[in-house]
């Protein structure tokens, strides 16, 4: 009876829609408008219309190019290592007979730690004097390394990000494996599908939908990298060499107070996120849709 009366659904959906409009869609539209005006300073009025001038500057901005390149590297690393490690851990834990809940808790634990706390923790690991990594090198009679040098800084930012989110994808994929009917595995076992064959012909094909979701989340998450990168990034590095799109947008908007230019960077981030996520969805869903249509 509730679904026959649309008025009840409107009362339920109305508040959520209002919140979405006020805190998501309205700021997004205002952000687009700000990118078309000269706005110097937070709260400054929009007086001079400059059109697409900011976007022309972005096309020639070397720091923007560097931030896009770093974000692209981060995107590849999150898909390959975060989702890849999560898949490997899920398959291994699924094969364990006892202690599955223990492993689920241990592997998921990093995701509940504040990103700022993780950044400070890894800064202690990277410290030149007394840092854990250099202590290990010293114990092996090796010379200490400046882990946050220009050549290693990007890798040192990517490492904790991959470590902190691999457990999140592990839980998603492990849940997907747990939802596969046991009858399928039992039938496969009778046919001799064990080990690698079991994973290749049974587990992985039935997990394509879950893995596609994980890839989409990893891709969009890499575009929003900010807090960990901002805490770990060495301040002595050449300007922009360790920037991601999120950190470059923040520095431009809130430190330099170049609001209109920061708004244009934010819009580019949204566009890239939508395009890349749609590509990832098509890669993992086209085959399933074709199989469904053929049936």
117-169 pLDDT, tens digit per residue, is: 999 999 999 999 989 999 999 999 999 999 988 888 889 999 999 999 999 99
The confidence score (pLDDT) of residue 295 equals 46
Per the listing, tokens 């520095």 go with: 251
Task: Tell me the per-residue pLDDT of 255-269, one tens digit each, with 9 for 90 and over.
Answer: 888 999 999 999 999
Task: Tell me the per-residue pLDDT of 42-91, one tens digit each, with 9 for 90 and over.
Answer: 777 777 899 999 999 999 999 999 999 999 999 999 999 999 999 999 98
User: Does the pLDDT value for residue 292 go beyond 60?
Assistant: no
Residue 36, Cβ neighbours under 10 Å: how many? Answer: 18
C-alpha to C-alpha distance for 63 and 245, rounded to whole angstroms: 10
Taking Cα atoms as reference points, which of 203, 183, 194, 210 lies closest to residue 91?
203
The confidence score (pLDDT) of residue 294 equals 45
For 91, the token pair is 């398959």
Residues in the chain: 295
Every domain of the chain and the residues it spans: 50-290
What is the Cβ-side half-sphere exposure of residue 242, based on CA atoms within 13 angstroms?
23
The confidence score (pLDDT) of residue 276 equals 87
Task: Give the CATH superfamily of 50-290.
Answer: MetI-like (1.10.3720.10)
The confidence score (pLDDT) of residue 150 equals 81
C-alpha to C-alpha distance for 38 and 258, rounded to whole angstroms: 9
**Mean pLDDT along residues 213-241:** 82
Q: What is the pTM assigned to this prediction?
A: 0.84
Q: 3-state DSSP: the chain helix, strand, coil percent, rounded to 5?
A: 75, 0, 25
**Mean pLDDT along residues 182-198:** 76
User: Does the pLDDT value for residue 5 go beyond 70?
Assistant: no
């Amino acid at each position: 009876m509730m679904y026959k009366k649309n008025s009840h659904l409107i009362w339920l959906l109305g508040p959520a829609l209002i919140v979405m409009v006020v805190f998501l869609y309205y700021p997004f539209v205002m952000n687009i408008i700000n990118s078309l005006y000269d706005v110097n300073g937070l709260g400054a009025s929009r007086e001079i219309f400059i059109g697409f001038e900011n976007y022309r500057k972005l096309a020639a901005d070397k720091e923007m190019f560097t931030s896009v390149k770093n974000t692209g590297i981060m995107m590849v690393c999150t898909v390959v290592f975060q989702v890849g490690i999560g898949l490997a851990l899920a398959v291994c834990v699924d094969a364990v007979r006892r202690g599955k809940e223990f492993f689920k808790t241990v592997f998921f634990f990093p995701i509940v730690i504040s990103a700022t706390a993780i950044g400070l923790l890894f800064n202690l690991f990277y410290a030149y004097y007394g840092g854990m990594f250099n202590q290990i090198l010293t114990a092996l009679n090796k010379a200490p390394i400046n882990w946050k040098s220009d050549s290693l800084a990007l890798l040192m930012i990517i490492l904790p990000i991959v470590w902190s989110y691999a457990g999140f994808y592990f839980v998603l994929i492990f849940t997907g494996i747990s939802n596969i009917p046991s009858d399928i595995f039992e039938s496969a076992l009778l046919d001799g599908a064990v080990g690698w064959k079991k994973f290749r012909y049974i587990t992985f094909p039935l997990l394509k939908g879950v893995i596609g979701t994980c890839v989409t989340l990893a891709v969009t998450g890499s575009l929003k990298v900010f807090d960990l990168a901002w805490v770990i990034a060495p301040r002595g590095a050449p300007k922009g060499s360790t920037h991601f799109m999120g950190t470059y947008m923040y520095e431009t908007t809130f430190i330099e107070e170049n609001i209109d230019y920061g708004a244009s960077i934010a819009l580019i981030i949204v566009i890239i996120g939508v395009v890349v996520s749609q590509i990832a969805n098509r890669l993992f869903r086209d085959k399933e849709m074709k199989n469904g249509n053929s049936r």
